[in-house]
Structures are given as structure tokens and as C-alpha cells.
Amino acid sequence: MMLTVENTNAWLLSFADKLIENKEYLTDLDTAIGDGDHGNNMARGAKMIKDKLNSQDFSSVQDIFKAVAMALLSSVGGAAGPLYGSAFMGMAKQVATDDNSVDAVIKAGLESVQKRGKAVPGEKTMVDVWVPAVKALEEGKLSKDAIWEAVKSTKDMKATKGRASYLGDRSIGHIDPGATSSGYFFETLLDSNILD
């Protein structure tokens, strides 16, 4: 349960690849309940992440998280850019403390997202994936099933935060795009050897 420069780099590169691979799916999800830009937004951020991580040698995990935060803040735009940017800044701060376990670091990321966006569980946002994922991490039982269950749970929710909230009841019946991109974040964490 330790983050190293090597495994963090590998994890976030595969997160970026997943976002690029699934750009069209994220676009489709955001077309149903938003403005259809989440796929392009995140793929643009992902390309920036790859450029930064591949062009530098990092000497600390904190520097990696900071570089990813800056990449996302400067390139993603929309609601998701500042929210993911905050998550990575929160994780960057936490990883430099004594409590730098993966679960503490991710929990700090969630706290930053909630500080920035004020969303709580049940509002059909990325928070609906981060909250159960943090809990599962703390209990040592994060699984792909748990992650994608959480993503799917947003389908029946009515959005009360973000652009999808303008649709009111018409937001019900669609999976949330930001919850889905967060699903890739946790799925690639599981695929890395970080939790082993």
C-alpha cells in the first residue's frame, strides 16, 4: 500500500490511456445529460498528462500529482477540470505528510473535490464513485465490481449538482459522465500493483 514514483507514474499513464480510449463513450454520456464535452475535455487533459509524465523525471510522488493537477487545470476546462485538478492537488499535499498511505491520499483527494464542488453522495456526480471507493479502500476491499456498481448507481439518481441538474427529473436514467471517468481512475489504480 505504498505509492512510489514508478507505480504512481505507471498508474496515471494508464488512467490517461483509458480516458483517451473511452473518449467517445464519455462524450455520449455527457451528450445525454450535459453538453457533450466530457470526453474531449478529459482526453485533452489525458494527453497533457502523458506529455508531462513522459517528458520529465520526477523525484517525488508529490511532484507527479502536482504536475497532473497543473495539466488538468490548464487543459480540461468545464466543471471537471477544476474538480480533478483539486483532487490531484489534495493528493499532492497529503502524500508529503506522515499519513501517506494510498487510502489517506485518495481520501484527501475526495475532500478537495467536495470542498471545491460541494457535492455529497446521491447528487449524481463523481463523488458517488469517490465516496464508496474511499470506504472500500479503507476496508481493504476495493474491487472492479464495487467501482462499476458505484458508477452504475448514478443512473437512477436525479442530478442536483452541475450542468445535468438543469434537466431535473430528465437526468434520471443516464449514467453520470464524471462518475464514469472516475471509474477509470479507480480501475487503473486496481490494475496497477499499488494495492498489492
Ligand X SMILES: Nc1ncnc2c1ncn2[C@@H]1O[C@H](COP(=O)(O)OP(=O)(O)O)[C@@H](O)[C@H]1O
How many residues of this chain bind ligand X (CB under 6 A)? 24
**Nearest distance in Å: CB 182, ligand X:** 7
Of 9 and 185, which has the nearer Cβ to ligand X? 185
Cβ at position 171, least distance to Mg ion in Å: 13
Residue with the three cell numbers 511532484 = 63
Quote the least distance from Cβ 173 to Mg ion, whole Å: 18
Gap between the Cα atoms of 185 and 183, Å rounded: 5
Counting every residue, how long is the chain? Answer: 196
Distance CA 103, CA 84 (A): 17
- Provide the 10 A C-beta neighbour count for residue 2: 11
Contact 128, 93 (CB under 8 A): no
Q: Is 183 in the site for ligand X (CB under 6 A)?
A: no
Looking at the Cβ atoms of 4 and 115, the one nearer to ligand X is: 115
- Residues that bind ligand X in the complex, under the rule CB under 6 A: 30, 34-35, 37-38, 41, 78-80, 83, 113, 117-119, 125-127, 161-163, 176-179
